[in-house]
Structure 1
Amino acid sequence: MSRRLVSPQIARSWLLVPASHPELFEIAQASDADAIIIDMEDAVAANDKKQARKDTLAWLNSGHRAWVRINDASSDFWSDDCAALKKAEGLEGVMLAKSESSSHIDDTADRLPDGVRILALVETARGVQQVERIANAPSTFRIAFGTGDFKRDTATGEDPLALAYARSQLVIASRAARLPAPIDGPTLDLAKLPAGTAHAKEMGMSGKLCLTHAHAATINEGLSPSDDDIAWAHGFITAFQASGGKITDGSDLPRLARAQKIVQQAEDFGIEVAAAEVSHSGY
């Protein structure tokens, strides 16, 4: 059975696959991940870049589709990455490492085929400072948070509170620029993944990177509306319609909007709740 295709605008799990290990490409494609990113940057040693680029291009030109993380615009590999991907038939879009300015986005777009979507990976203090301009660059499709490099760049610790400001900046900039909600960085420990995913959702993020396909299902579940959420949403909409759309107080329209969003998400992700579970409570 083929996996359900999820639009990258709402994709929850983004699986990074080392470009130096093409034997993993098929495994990634068969996984639960909503989106696959072939990683030609940090996951590949400098001496292996050329072969990894060649293997990535061969796979994308053999009927497969994926995103590709390219090296940052200040690196020695960026130009060759862009040139190679101009010939990639199955390119879904590009993740630009260490996005630190709108010019990084614009210059990358100029070197790629027209209309290629760019996922701006913000992973430095400078990137966070410039995130509003990055979000408003014409070719920016969505923003992701490179938590590992950001912590290294800023000497930030592991406490989620330490990254709250940066995460909020990405969320606010994305919303103001009318972009989809941003994608959080990976949680490496599977035991901590449910909490990490819940925190990302609480912060207003709607996607999460992962480095192994084993994490995709947990991320998808954590970033999807729960059965209780969906049951409440259907019940609220049913009760609201039954009342003839009567407004009882100022919370009705916000709750209606939330209910409609939940129902749409459930439809987009293929989640169904039995009719017996639908609750009319909360109206």
Structure 2
Amino acid sequence: MITAPARSILFVPGDRPERFDKARASGADLVVIDLEDAVLPERKAAAREVIHDALAGLSDPRFVVRVNSLDTEWHAEDVRALAGLSGVAGLMLPKTERAGDLSALQAAARGKPLHALVETVAGVLNLAQLVTAPGLVRLSFGTVDFQADAGIDGDAAELDAIRTQMVLHSRAAGLDAPVDGVSTDLSDDAALARDTDHARRFGFGGKLCVHPRQVAVVNAAFLPSDADVAWAQRVIAAIDGAFGAVAVDGKLIDKPVVDRAKRLVAMHRRYATVD
């Protein structure tokens, strides 16, 4: 099971069980089996049974299930049937808009960690309250649906103000760094790497993926570069036992710089054990 916050979060349709193990073997840190958008209404009940049978016997969970939203006829049965399975590492709630949404889910989730998919204007406006919900471990940004709801055309600089809010509210609440939305162009790895690096620089810790080919690019983009790790190691070595002002590469270092260096080294070690 992944103990570091997941970088790559790969969606797989809940009615395609032949893809579950392939998704797990893709290198994705976490796999979201989707009962919502990826499954047609007439197939949702059957998909729920498929997921139950596939995950009931697992002892090393890497799967989160995106259940249907609270206002649907399928939500309650999704949670009842799947929350207690050993192979379910958590539940993701789509269209999360308020802390009460998660409180209602948490009461039935049997202690499973909760992931909130924020994809509406109401969800963003309620972030300060939403992040206080019991059981919540992480926010994910549903950029495509949010653009449609907000009437915003573009998912880069157009959404950066929202990204900042999600990072700050997550940080204040002690949640894992949030997860950025999908990049829909499956053929452009360079654009995906730029999108992921953009999210990382804004303080995000992961990215949603819609195809296995995206996983390796996303994982690599969240790793500190060799140059950054080497710099961080020089900083840590320089302060070991030092008194007074210390310079590294000709620049004075202070506590914030040292803290950043320690975070980089810790991240490098953490994900090296995962990869």
Same fold (TM over 0.5): yes
2:244 alignment partner in structure 1: 246
Please tell me the residue identity of whatever aligns with 2:267. Q
1:256 alignment partner in structure 2: 258
2:269 alignment partner in structure 1: 267
2:229 alignment partner in structure 1: 230
How far the C-alpha of 1:17 sits from its partner, in A, is 0.7
Cα deviation digits, residues 90-125 of structure 1 (max 9, x gap): 110011111001000000011121x21000110000
The SS at the match of 1:209 is strand
**Distance in 1 (alpha carbons) for counterparts of 2:54 and 2:243:** 53
1:21 alignment partner in structure 2: 16
Q: 2:132 aligns with which of 133, 136, 140?
A: 136
**Distance in 2 (alpha carbons) for counterparts of 1:29 and 1:194:** 21
**Distance in 2 (alpha carbons) for counterparts of 1:159 and 1:19:** 27
**Distance in 1 (alpha carbons) for counterparts of 2:84 and 2:117:** 23
**Distance in 1 (alpha carbons) for counterparts of 2:34 and 2:45:** 13
Q: 2:25 aligns with which of 30, 38, 43?
A: 30
Q: Is the 8 A contact 2:83 2:112 kept in 1?
A: no
**Unaligned ranges ≥5, structure 2:** none
Q: Which moved more, 1:254-263 or 1:57-66?
A: 57-66
Cα deviation digits, residues 148-197 of structure 1 (max 9, x gap): 11011112112511111111111111011011110001112242201110
How far the C-alpha of 1:62 sits from its partner, in A, is 2.7
How far the C-alpha of 1:245 sits from its partner, in A, is 4.5
**Structure 1 pair 201–245 and aligned structure 2 pair: CA distance change class (3 A):** farther
The SS at the match of 2:109 is coil
Matching of residue 50 in structure 1 with residue 45 in structure 2: yes
The SS at the match of 1:92 is strand
Matching of residue 156 in structure 1 with residue 152 in structure 2: yes
**Distance in 2 (alpha carbons) for counterparts of 1:263 and 1:245:** 22
**Distance in 2 (alpha carbons) for counterparts of 1:88 and 1:154:** 36
Q: Is the 8 A contact 1:6 1:268 kept in 2?
A: no
Query: Following superposition of structure 1 onto structure 2, how do residues 179-258 of structure 1 map, counting pairs within 5 Å?
Result: 179-190=175-186, 191=188, 192-241=191-240, 244-248=242-246, 251-258=253-260
TM-score (norm 2): 0.92
How far the C-alpha of 1:254 sits from its partner, in A, is 0.7
Query: Following superposition of structure 1 onto structure 2, how do residues 82-161 of structure 1 map, counting pairs within 5 Å?
Result: 82-113=79-110, 115-161=111-157
The SS at the match of 1:38 is strand
How far the C-alpha of 1:86 sits from its partner, in A, is 3.3
**Distance in 2 (alpha carbons) for counterparts of 1:112 and 1:147:** 26
2:68 alignment partner in structure 1: 71
The alignment's C-alpha RMSD in Å is 1.6
How far the C-alpha of 1:145 sits from its partner, in A, is 0.3
How far the C-alpha of 1:33 sits from its partner, in A, is 0.5
Q: Is the 8 A contact 1:233 1:263 kept in 2?
A: yes
**Structure 1 pair 159–52 and aligned structure 2 pair: CA distance change class (3 A):** closer
**Distance in 2 (alpha carbons) for counterparts of 1:86 and 1:24:** 21
Cα deviation digits, residues 66-96 of structure 1 (max 9, x gap): 1101111112211111111134221100111
1:167 alignment partner in structure 2: 163
What is the number of residues matched between the two proteins? 264
**Distance in 2 (alpha carbons) for counterparts of 1:215 and 1:86:** 28
1:276 alignment partner in structure 2: none
